Amino acid sequence: MFIIRPIEGKDLDGLMELLEKSGHGLTSLPRDPEVLKKRIRISERSFTHREEAPRGEDYLFVMEELFTGKIVGVCAIISKIGGFEPYYFYRVEKTHHESKLVHVKNDITSLHFHFIHNGPAEICSLYLHPEFRNSQNGRFLSLSRFLFIAENRKFFEDQVIAEMRGMVNDSGHSPFWDAVGKNFFKMDFPTADYLSVKNKRFIEDLMPKYPIIANLLPEDAHYVIGKVHPNTEPAKRILEQEGFHFSGLVGIFEPGPVLIADLDNIRSIKESIVGEIKEISDKSFKSEVFIIARMSSNFRAVLGGVVKLKSGGYKISGVAAAALKLRLGDKIRFVSFRPKDQKKKKPTKKKKD
């Protein structure tokens, strides 16, 4: 059984072990113990010291195998991006050109330097250990964050973005970086990626402000604009099913797409239900799978069954109650694990002739 909870200082070693196989592309979580230790401290403070409006709090969560304590995944939410240190992107613009004189039509893609000071919220830093990757764990890790947002709605901006990992291979090679970035930054991709975690200001200092015409780039560099890494395709599909769509922005170093959604239109937020636990059962019972979270400052989430009782309130299993540290009378927030149109339909019996 897996549980998702806020990260703690004691998790540093487990997080370092998890990230050993992360490769390049997980910019916000470099394999640097000092950087990670600082991020954990910021996260712990974010959970305990919040103002009435979002101020860039950084909430970091881990996915833990409950009976072994092994950390198998990590994800995060930033309540608001920008502020004193803006976030940098390219805005993708496409224009159509046509000459009837010579019977030529052409579409031109241009990239415009774009930065955000007063930005939306962001979901980020999602990584799942390769040995635990499957459709269930990845979806659980991604969507659990939305129950936390739903429960703490006033602490987040009204929109949220997700910058998806672009086409970078395991050795840190990016065709887009080779064609564009290295000409302006005079360093390799992994170095620039790492430095951007500590301070993004050098991006604005070195990046030219004029548009880049993508059609003039080598074919492989042009092709990857707006494309995601193959390992990121499942995460992208999950977010699109939740209501995210392409924002028109891509990353600066490796131009993966930036998805965006209105918080109140995200399925896992909009369809989540709050209810009181009236029964905890040690016996198995039939139920679809839900993401279940405890309604308290100490956020925890698991997968499990929930049944609405005729007498009012809800029933959950003893295992889920123990994992969430809940008792009768406590409240939960829960949502269907999959959108209605993604749930498996029961096979229909064929009529006999």
Q: Which residues are catalytic?
A: 229
Written as one letter, the residue type at 71 is I
Strand partners, 121: 160
CA 251 to CA 166: how far, in whole Å? 8
Classify residue 153 by burial, with Cβ atoms within 10 Å: 0-12, 13-18, 19+. exposed
Question: 118 by DSSP, 3-state: which?
Answer: strand
- Tokens at 179, concatenated: 């064609």
What single letter denotes the amino acid at residue 40? Answer: I
Distance of CA 151 to the CA centre of its chain: 18
Closest by Cα among 164, 163, 201 to 185:
201
Other C-beta atoms closer than 10 Å to the C-beta of 251 total 21
| Contact residues for 53 (Cβ-Cβ < 8 A; gap 6+) | 154, 155
122 contacts: CB under 8 Å, gap ≥ 6: 77, 78, 81, 160, 161, 162, 163
Residues 6+ apart with CB under 8 A from 181: 174, 189, 192, 252, 253
Angle, CA 189 vertex, CA 184 and CA 191 arms, to 5°: 100
CA triplet 301, 307, 308: central angle to 5 degrees?
115
Helix H or strand E segment including 274: strand 273-281
Angle at 14 between CA 9 and CA 18, to 5 degrees: 130
> Taking the CB of residue 147, how many other CB atoms lie within 10 A of it?
24
